[in-house]
Amino acid sequence: MAPPTPVFGREELEVVRDRIEEPCQLKSLIQHECEYNGLQYVCLPFKRVFQECIVGKQRQKVRFEVTTELTNGAVDATVEKFWVTAGKESEEKVG
């Protein structure tokens, strides 16, 4: 299980960003969104992007999520095509 992650409001985030000690590093992870289509589970990956920064004199690592709508936008057409194809295959198996 992942350790607890603090969640900052907009005002708190500005205060934390002001205390960044050195350049941030870009980090990413891939998560999967899964759906059951009646025959099988279909899971599609999506990317989340974070900036990992060193904050304050205690040099605490803090991550800010910087994922935007465009982060996964390039795969939207591929995902749409996949779902159309998966739907046709599902109909063929049932029908």
Provide the percentage of residues in the chain whose pLDDT is more than 90. 3
Question: Rounded to an integer, what is the distance from CA 35 to the centroid of its chain?
Answer: 17
Residue 82 lies in a domain: yes
Residues 6-42 have pLDDT tens digits of 666 777 777 777 787 778 898 888 888 899 988 999 8
Residue 27 lies in a domain: yes
pTM exceeds 0.85, yes or no: no
- Note whether 52 and 76 are within 8 A (CB): no
Residue 5 lies in a domain: no
Residue 64 lies in a domain: yes
Q: Specify the number of domains making up the chain.
A: 1
Domain that holds residue 50: 10-94
Residue 2 lies in a domain: no
Residue 3 lies in a domain: no
Residue 56 lies in a domain: yes
